[in-house]
Amino acid sequence: MPWFIARGISANAVSLAGLALGTSAALAYSRWEMWPLAVVGLLLSVCWLVADGMDGMIARATGTASPLGRALDGLCDHGVFVLIYVSLAVSIGTLEAWALAVAAGIAHMVQSNMYESERARFHRRRNAVATIASPAPSRNPLVQLYDHCWGLLDRVAARFDHALARHQSPAELAARYATLAVRPMRLMSLLSANVRVYAIFLACLFSNPRLFWWFELIPLNIILIVGLFQHRTVENRFTVPENHFPYREGIKK
């Protein structure tokens, strides 16, 4: 990262470079039946993951984070997978493959948004930060839509944030919350882009990209539902009426 910063390479430029790497991966996967090209697709996808993590680090290190950059990062991430899905569907060439690709793509967008939102909330709360940091306003309708979708779970899970803000010892509550919430967070980490990148490669290596789409539609949706349920269950343990708080037992009033 210091090398990029020293040469004035912006976070947005890294995001676009990542999109180029992802596009190249999609082209390689269009010939997935040739295993060397499937390996090339995997290597290019891993390079895209590196770029995907680096753009945010550069933006924070240089103080250049912006609504456009945030949306560009998210749209490039989704765009890479869209290109890969399309290349696989075109290579198979059946209506069934297109239906699976579209259904899996929709499931992917929901799963990814929910996971990233849950992960950001978990790290914020673990540091005893109750206030939800609102993104900088933007007039760009695409940015507004992205921010709205990003904040859906924040609005659903706001009761715990209110409890954290009112608690007499926020750090203690945050520690108790993190101890319980780390388990569902680990489960939901299976919804990350890293897992999908390797799942795509394995499905192509086994000569059936459909396996990846079914993986998204069934196991990953189950993981999403279970993870969200577990997170809300953890929150509810701390948002019941105060005289029923399990963590307040034994504390003198």
pLDDT digits (tens), the chain, 253 positions: 676 666 667 777 888 888 899 999 999 999 999 999 999 999 999 999 988 888 777 777 777 666 666 667 777 778 899 999 999 999 999 999 999 999 999 999 899 888 988 998 999 999 998 876 555 555 656 555 555 555 566 666 788 888 888 888 999 999 999 999 999 999 999 999 999 999 999 999 999 999 999 999 999 999 999 999 999 999 988 875 544 444 444 333 3
What is the DSSP secondary structure assignment for residue 198, as one 8-state letter? H
| Tally of CA atoms within 13 A in the half-sphere of 60 that contains its CB | 6
Phi then psi dihedrals of residue 58, to 5 deg? -65, -40
Q: pTM higher than 0.85, yes or no?
A: no
* Reduced 3-state DSSP string for the chain: CHHHHHCCCCHHHHHHHHHHHHHHHHHHHCCCCCHHHHHHHHHHHHHHHHHHHHHHHHHHHHCCCCHHHHHHHHHHHHHHHHHHHHHHHHHHCCHHHHHHHHHHHHHHHHHHHHHHHHHHHHHHHHCCCCCCCCCCCCCCHHHHHHHHHHCHHHHHCHHHHHHHHHCCCHHHHHHHHHHHHHHHHHHHHHHCHHHHHHHHHHHHHCCCCHHHHHHHHCHHHHHHHHHHHHHHHHHHCCCCCHHHCHHHCCCCC
* CB count in 10 Å sphere of residue 46: 15
